[in-house]
Amino acid sequence: MVPCNCVLRAIFRACYARFRHCAAKEKHISRISLDVVPGRERSYIWGRKDEEYMADFILVSRRTLDEFESKLFRFHFLLGADWRLCCRKLNTDRGTFFHAVYRIEQKLGRVFRELEPYSLFPLDEYFRNPVRSAPAGQLRKSA
């Protein structure tokens, strides 16, 4: 089953929102995590999940996008330029810009979800914070 393009764009936007959240954090409050490495011998690895996520987000994007898309991604998503500035800098028109943005979101949304062995989406799996919901019985009682 192939997800529709709107789902892929939503995946990218969720990952991008997390990237911006990680980038906006104060660096002195970054958390260090201790993760278990699977295998016969139980070992642990220290890491900074926020910094690792930002690096993965950028590096996967660079490897996936072509030259034009990479420039647009850098200007618009990483540096925060609006469409007018991007169109001027990339010598393109508004329609081409927005079609390219949608293509980039779809392409990266698919890659972020299907990346092996560890995908960037779902975010709770990447950051090892499983989302816990209330038991089904509690949900029915409160409704």
Q: Where are the domains of the chain?
A: 5-128
Residue found by looking up tokens 């979800």 in the block: 113
Exposed/middle/buried for residue 15 (C-beta within 10 Å: 0-12, 13-18, 19+): buried
The CATH class given to the 5-128 domain equals mainly alpha
Q: What is the pLDDT along the chain (143 residues), one digit of tens a residue?
A: 778 999 999 999 999 999 999 888 877 666 676 766 667 777 776 777 888 889 999 999 999 999 999 999 999 999 999 999 999 999 999 999 999 999 999 999 999 998 887 787 887 777 774 443 444 444 344 43
Q: Who contacts 74 (Cβ-Cβ below 8 Å, separation ≥6)? A: none
